[in-house]
Amino acid sequence: MTIRSESRITISRTVSDVWAYLCDVGRWPEWAPTVRECWIRDGAPLQPGAWVEQRAKGPLGSSRRRSQTVTVVAAPSRLAFAGPLGLSTARWGMELEPLEHGRTAAMMWVEVDLESLMRAIPGRLFNARIRRVMDIEMAAIKASTESGRPVAVPSYATT
């Protein structure tokens, strides 16, 4: 069973501004509540086939390492990644479209192929959890790009 979630927001910055922010993986902890540190393996460029490495937040202040492969980089409009989510496989991405007056329509999507024990989680509940985190991430991306400085991502986003 595959679950897909989407979150959309309008950002009062140009597509190129939002694109540059999203492609700077070292800044992902500014908007992703589960990411403590992020880099591209071996210093490679952000391109299909590259690996994005993360030190992710775990329970009770712990951390763990996780990796995602870059599947799409279509400047300046689409980024996509794939990797594990718990015991399942997930894909996620961002799509950007220019709007009038230098604004950007941004959409984040996540697809999860529920596998193994994760199939026991009710799809509607799992989807709501993913959507809640995506909405927090999109609000943080908007706030950071519009203000030009990092914003605090709420800690409740990881619970």
- Average pLDDT per block of 10 residues along the chain, 159 residues long: 92 97 96 94 96 90 92 98 85 98 97 70 75 94 89 55
On whether the CB atoms of residues 65 and 41 are closer than 8 A, the answer is no
pTM for this prediction: 0.87
Say which residue the tokens 């794939």 belong to. 82
Q: Residue 79: beta bridge partners? A: 73, 94
- Contact call for residues 41 and 53 (beta carbons, < 8 A): yes
Residue 152 has a pLDDT of 63
What pLDDT, on a 0 to 100 scale, did the predictor assign at position 156? 47
User: Closest Cα to residue 112, out of 138, 130, 133?
Assistant: 130
Confidence at residue 118, expressed as pLDDT on a 0 to 100 scale: 55
Ramachandran angles phi, psi of 37, nearest 5°:
-155, 145
Residue 140: HSE in the Cβ half-sphere, 13 Å Cα cutoff: 22
What is the pLDDT, as a whole number, of residue 104? Answer: 98
Q: Where do the H-state alpha helices sit in 97-122?
A: none
**Predicted local distance difference test score (pLDDT) of residue 8:** 97
Residue 159 pLDDT: 42
Domains annotated on the chain, with CATH: 2-150 (3.30.530.20)
> What is the predicted pLDDT for the residue at 158?
45
